[in-house]
Structure 1
Amino acid sequence: MFYKFTSLIFLLLFSNGILKAQNSNAVSSPDNNLTVKFKMSNGKAYYSIFKKNEQVLEASALGLVRADENFSSHLTLLSVSNITNVSDTYTLKNAKRLNNHYQAKKRIFHLKTASGKILDIIFQVSNDGIAFRYHFPDKDAAVKRILSEQTSYNFFAETKAWLQPMSVAKTGWESTNPSYEEYYKKEINVGEAAPSAAGWVYPALFHYRDNWVLISEAGLDGNYCATRLKQNSPDGNYEIGFPDEREAFTGGNVKPESISPWFTPWRILTIGSLKTITESTLGTDLAYPQKPNINPADYPLGKASWSWIILKDNSITYDVQKKFIDFAADMKWEYCLIDVDWDTKIGFEKMQQLSDYAKSKNVGLILWYNSAGDWNTVKYTPKNKLTTKANRQKEFAMLQKMGIKGIKVDFFGGDGQSMIKYYLEIFEDAAKYGLNVNCHGATLPRGWQRTYPNLVTMESIKGMEFITFDQNNANEAPYHATTIPFTRNVFDPMDFTPMTLTKIPNINRKTSSVFELALPIIFQSGVQHLAETPEGIASVPDFIKTHLQNFPASFTDIKFIDGYPGKYVIMARKAGNKWYLAGINSGQQNKTVTIDLSQFGKNKATLITDGDSEFSFKKTDLQLKSTEITIKPFGGFVAVVE
């Protein structure tokens, strides 16, 4: 009996010891619902992810290969840090939420190669996701070069994916790719190869059983290239890939180079329900804090009129732009964007007159620029004005003197480290001259809007302009618009340039007018360039014009109400004491939802739905209670609750 009792005690102590040993290589979220487990096997490092009692990610590889050392094999675990708390509070106007509070648990795994070189792998686990990055802690003034990352995301075979193909460098119109301007493939099987060796872009969305996972990166500075997922993912194992060697600034490098100490960007996985995904701020939580010399108040957010989206190149004249300045003023919008060839078709002297006129109307001007360099063959001007610091400062000083408020820079075409540095140099220099920045033909921002408050938006999406080019894009629009709130636009401002309430020349628009009216609420952008014309607004009811005149410059909070990627989405955003609710439906049947409006306000609610005829609207006053709202096929609704 005594033998059995002591054996039982020994077994319990031994089991408890094993459990403690296992937990010493794990870290959980503050609410203990999300856990990452680290392990070593045959000299290699791996991690796996669990949500409550369900494993979400199988053992996935960690490590990098530097030109001077392999940090992915023959590794030894030296030590594991204690778990520490991470807390960060920040405000960000150009985001889904004004006031943000990040809390996480942090643990560092210290590794050593066979030759004695050190690599740290840092994990931070918050309630909404997991972030990790690599750190070379040794001080070394010699420049090192990373050849590849072995980082992978190993999904179970039953997982479904929503993935956007990366376009091949130096392809497309005037060799301007990559520009993150492809359609997401929706609900595909993991393991399906990307259409080309260029792979897949971030954010990448996955669904496994009860959990959704959104993968991206943040904390990207000039010491690294932007990455993507590789073309092939055997058995659902996705590896990180580096850019094409052609994705470089003129004469610059693509793969990461730096002295050390050296931190890589954060690899981030938001994990949970679709509500968790859409309401998460992980992409800015892990971005670098605001630069101390850039004051967000100097770069007001807002809405902008823009002639080119509907009227194209021939609209870039003095008279048309004056008309669109008047349009912005009448709509109480903050900006007017003047696009390509303004320097030759309008000229600097006349542009000064337009700037003075816009100022008298309380409208700021944003001017277009070609990113230039040898990476594209685009002839549009101004060109070759921004590629050197001296030229940028000269140009930006002139714009500041003219009273110009911002620039739109187009056609970057690359994710290499040297091109990333070019983006950041433009943001830094533009801020010194009071200019906000919008990038088109561009990479994903990856949280840059937190670091550089003058970065108001970036395209990085197959946006509204493509719908104006081709009927096939118009046919895809409903499915595309209901996918990107769960993918591209989750963390970063997106210059989709939405909203045509009436006809598009030579295009049979598939979406309803209220579907379009909902987009500036569902899509987040620091400056929302709207695709309507004075003639279009003149043809809609007065209550629609009033709604757009009173539309907020930015929002302070978000709530996900319902939706499914590629099918429908219903979201609410707050500004002041009002909540703006919007829903869009890509299905061919009515979609009816019940929403408790009392959670959003105490005074009144107004609902705008599609009317009975094409391009028509219906306005209804609602009681603040649970209300059924029906969204028509390819239709939408907008509700304002206060």
Structure 2
Amino acid sequence: MRNIFILLFALGVSHLSAKEYIVKSPDGRIAVNVETGTSTTYSVDFNGKNVLASSALSMTFDNGTVIGQNMRVNKVERLSVDRILKPVVRQKCAEIRDQYNEMILKSSGYDVHFRVYNDGVAYRFHTDFGRPLKVMSEEVTYAFPEDYNTLFPEERTMLSPQQPLFPEKKLSEIATDKFCSTPMLVKVDEKTRLFISESDLENYPGMFLQKQGKNELGGKFAAFALEEEKTEGRQCFPTKRANYIAKVNGTRNYPWRAMIIAEDDANLITNQLIYKLAPEAEGKDYSWVRPGKIAWDWYNACILYDVDFKAGINTDTYKYYIDFASCYGIEYVVIDDGWSEEWDVTKTIPAIDLEELVAYGKKKNVDLILWVSWVPFEEKMDEAFAQYSKWGIKGLKIDFMNRDDQRVVDFYYRVARKAYDYKMLVDFHGAYKPTGWSRTFPHVLTSEGVAGLENHKWASYVTPKHNVTLPFTRMVAGPMDYTPGGMFNLHEKDHKIWFNLPATIGTRCHQLGMYVVYESPLQMLADSPSSYYREEKTMDFLSPVPVVWDETRVLKASVGEYIVVARRNGDIWYIGGMTGEKGQTFEISLDFIEGSKTLTSWEDGINVDLNARDFAKKTRMVKQGDKITVKMYDGGGYAAIIK
């Protein structure tokens, strides 16, 4: 009886010391309930339903300090913000409404910020310890009230280019030793979706998620790299790691732990929570940033035909690419792997004359972007930037990082800042997902971190279903360099693997639809210029389609099944559609256009069942309120221009 009394007394003291704080979204539909005491936890309700159960958060430092545990709140600050953001690069739209309520719980030496939007929730720690520390661990918990379905992008190692598939699994089906990269999507019910990722990842490792307890996921972070070894392929991997995850200044903000809450699949496409949480653009002048399309060489292995020179990595070949880009108004040509000495990225191979190519491109309004592997580039970063600037290079495609521990995350930020100084665009490959770069560094126009078109060169797992999953998963985090535009199209059942002459899975219009559905302010045309020259009707779409948008409307959407999106650039509307395994037919109302217009469409052809490349180009007059039929075959697509 004495032991029971002591236990009850202790529970009573704990209950009395626990305190509760609530912050709601501006529209009142999302409520975050924070409890402090022995541990700090938060839970989230959406439309009166609990979607995130009590989830603990804390950080442990090398001096023994554990913030978030036994927290004494000295002060609570609240603020409301409602403003319009005008992005430098219009990824989805010309204006973004940034509206939220924020609650800051202030304790001794640290604060916890909870920010609640109408479409999501985020929290972060801020410390003010005054001296450098080491972060031993961070406790990030997502405890769900039920056994939800997830799209779980499983990883086998944290040394990863983060190009996962997104198989659907119930929480109960995920073993406790399994983990995934972020972003990750959770299906609460038939409509409601939770999307978990992070923003403002400076000077800190990226977050993975590992199955913990029943219906619970927890943050997993790569340990700090103490020693590294260069490997074949111009890469670099840790050979010794510390028992901590980050070295930090005592006074700093930590990354936002972000959870988007979407009413349905369509709302995921237009959500910009990751962008809104990121810091403002660091630079003052971005007038030089020029989004655009890129003629790309690596996917098509520089294989040209009907030419009078030997194709390959040489000056004549890239002049041909420049001629093609100029012919169709394409802004850039990327010169991929092979142009430089293997370990000296300031020296070209003898067959390439970059100064001649830059001058040739300038006459035709086409600029050059160079591919580099990150390890040799980092070794000569200052010298390389100066040399590329002298040559007249306009951007970099940086590859093979395949890590997001603190040391490599720091590399991204150093590159972004140095590239701004030299007025160069950046495309990160072999990259972790975007964490708000589009806002902080508008010249970082796109990144990989996606299982894209190039996978067709060696595998058949990038299917139409996968393609129609990406807009609701990876793309929600930010622009993705999927590299669409393959002209050799096969149905999934017919697909064969050819490394140098790759074939895509899905119809020709499936590829065309990507240029409206997929967001990337640097958008590749992956196939050979020789092939595009013979596809005049296809180029009638690929030539004018833009890469930035003033307005986005999602017309139809279902994860992994179908998507139809309308986007406006100026006064011209573009429609892109894609299906997964099964074809779809939709009646679409053109209530978003004004007046009478000409609609030109590219549709799966009458014989597309026999040949995935079959399509029909059609033209008709339409006016506001008219209905059009969008019919897409299995693995099919649709594209249209309304002007």
Kindly indicate whether residue 53 of structure 2 is the aligned counterpart of residue 58 of structure 1. yes
Post-superposition shift, 1:109?
A: 1.9
Post-superposition shift, 1:300?
A: 0.3
Which residue does 1:358 correspond to in 2? 361
Which residue does 1:260 correspond to in 2? 250
Which residue does 1:10 correspond to in 2? none
Post-superposition shift, 1:83?
A: 2.7
Kept after mapping to 2: 8 A contact 1:413/1:441: yes
TM-score (norm 1): 0.86
Which residue does 1:462 correspond to in 2? 451
Kept after mapping to 1: 8 A contact 2:40/2:69: no
Which residue does 2:219 correspond to in 1? 240
Which residue does 1:397 correspond to in 2? 386
Post-superposition shift, 1:218?
A: 0.4
CA distance in 2, matches of 1:507, 1:74: 55
Post-superposition shift, 1:601?
A: 3.8
Post-superposition shift, 1:340?
A: 0.9
2:145 is aligned, of 145, 153, 156, to: 156
Which residue does 2:622 correspond to in 1? 623
Alpha-carbon distance change, 283 to 242 in structure 1, aligned in 2, over 3 angstroms: same
Which residue does 2:494 correspond to in 1? none
Alpha-carbon distance change, 600 to 148 in structure 1, aligned in 2, over 3 angstroms: farther
Which residue does 2:430 correspond to in 1? 441
Which residue does 2:205 correspond to in 1? 225
Which residue does 1:321 correspond to in 2? 318
Post-superposition shift, 1:153?
A: 0.9
Secondary structure at the residue paired with 1:325? Answer: helix
TM-score (norm 2): 0.86
Secondary structure at the residue paired with 2:401? Answer: coil
CA distance in 2, matches of 1:329, 1:477: 32
Alpha-carbon distance change, 194 to 403 in structure 1, aligned in 2, over 3 angstroms: farther
Kept after mapping to 1: 8 A contact 2:127/2:250: yes
- How big is each residue's C-alpha offset from its partner over 1:143-179, in whole Å with a ceiling of 9 and x where there is no partner? 111111112111133311112123414xxxxxxx410
CA distance in 2, matches of 1:348, 1:426: 28
Which residue does 1:216 correspond to in 2? 197
Which residue does 2:44 correspond to in 1? 49
Secondary structure at the residue paired with 1:385? Answer: helix
Which residue does 1:306 correspond to in 2? 296
Kindly indicate whether residue 68 of structure 2 is the aligned counterpart of residue 77 of structure 1. no
More helix by share: 1
Post-superposition shift, 1:349?
A: 6.6
Post-superposition shift, 1:346?
A: 4.4
2:410 is aligned, of 411, 421, 443, to: 421
CA distance in 1, matches of 2:248, 2:272: 29
Post-superposition shift, 1:30?
A: 0.6
Secondary structure at the residue paired with 2:323? Answer: helix
Q: Counterparts in 2 of 1:153-552, with a 5 A limit?
A: 153-169=142-158, 177-185=159-167, 187-193=168-174, 199-209=179-189, 210-222=191-203, 224-230=204-210, 232-244=211-223, 255-273=245-263, 274-293=265-284, 295-311=285-301, 315-344=312-341, 346-347=349-350, 350-372=353-375, 384-387=376-379, 391-470=380-459, 472-473=460-461, 476-502=462-488, 507=502, 509-540=504-535, 542-552=536-546
CA distance in 1, matches of 2:517, 2:477: 13
Kept after mapping to 2: 8 A contact 1:165/1:194: no
Kindly indicate whether residue 96 of structure 2 is the aligned counterpart of residue 100 of structure 1. yes
Which residue does 1:585 correspond to in 2? 579
Secondary structure at the residue paired with 1:496? Answer: coil
Alpha-carbon distance change, 124 to 352 in structure 1, aligned in 2, over 3 angstroms: same
Kept after mapping to 2: 8 A contact 1:290/1:450: yes
Secondary structure at the residue paired with 1:423? Answer: helix
Kept after mapping to 1: 8 A contact 2:31/2:46: yes
Letter paired with 1:188:
K
CA distance in 1, matches of 2:197, 2:543: 35
Alpha-carbon distance change, 287 to 592 in structure 1, aligned in 2, over 3 angstroms: same
Secondary structure at the residue paired with 2:337? Answer: coil
CA distance in 2, matches of 1:154, 1:572: 36
Alpha-carbon distance change, 54 to 45 in structure 1, aligned in 2, over 3 angstroms: same
For structure 1, list consecutive stretches of 5 or more residues without a partner in the other structure: 1-20, 112-116, 170-176, 373-383
- List structure 1 segments (4+ residues) > 6 angstroms apart after TM superposition: 21-24, 247-254
Q: Percent identity over the alignment? A: 25
Secondary structure at the residue paired with 1:151? Answer: strand
CA distance in 1, matches of 2:156, 2:95: 36
Alpha-carbon distance change, 600 to 77 in structure 1, aligned in 2, over 3 angstroms: farther
Which residue does 1:376 correspond to in 2? none
Kept after mapping to 1: 8 A contact 2:59/2:68: no
Kept after mapping to 2: 8 A contact 1:333/1:363: yes
Post-superposition shift, 1:247?
A: 9.7
Kept after mapping to 2: 8 A contact 1:108/1:120: yes
- How big is each residue's C-alpha offset from its partner over 1:119-139, in whole Å with a ceiling of 9 and x where there is no partner? 32110101111111011134x
Kept after mapping to 2: 8 A contact 1:248/1:417: no
For structure 2, list consecutive stretches of 5 or more residues without a partner in the other structure: 1-16, 230-237, 304-310, 342-347, 490-497
Letter paired with 2:326:
A
Q: Number of aligned residue pairs: give it.
A: 583
Kept after mapping to 2: 8 A contact 1:226/1:242: yes
Letter paired with 2:470:
I
CA distance in 1, matches of 2:135, 2:465: 39
Kept after mapping to 2: 8 A contact 1:180/1:460: yes
Letter paired with 1:555:
W
Secondary structure at the residue paired with 1:489? Answer: helix
Kept after mapping to 2: 8 A contact 1:29/1:126: yes
Letter paired with 2:416:
F
- How big is each residue's C-alpha offset from its partner over 1:264-301, in whole Å with a ceiling of 9 and x where there is no partner? 111111102223221111111001110134x3221200
- How big is each residue's C-alpha offset from its partner over 1:388-422, in whole Å with a ceiling of 9 and x where there is no partner? xxx32221111111111111111112111111111
**Alignment RMSD, CA only?**
2.5
Alpha-carbon distance change, 522 to 204 in structure 1, aligned in 2, over 3 angstroms: same
Alpha-carbon distance change, 602 to 256 in structure 1, aligned in 2, over 3 angstroms: farther
1:30 is aligned, of 3, 17, 26, to: 26
Alpha-carbon distance change, 94 to 148 in structure 1, aligned in 2, over 3 angstroms: farther
CA distance in 2, matches of 1:552, 1:266: 32
Post-superposition shift, 1:74?
A: 4.7
Alpha-carbon distance change, 265 to 165 in structure 1, aligned in 2, over 3 angstroms: same
Secondary structure at the residue paired with 2:635? Answer: coil
Kindly indicate whether residue 577 of structure 2 is the aligned counterpart of residue 565 of structure 1. no
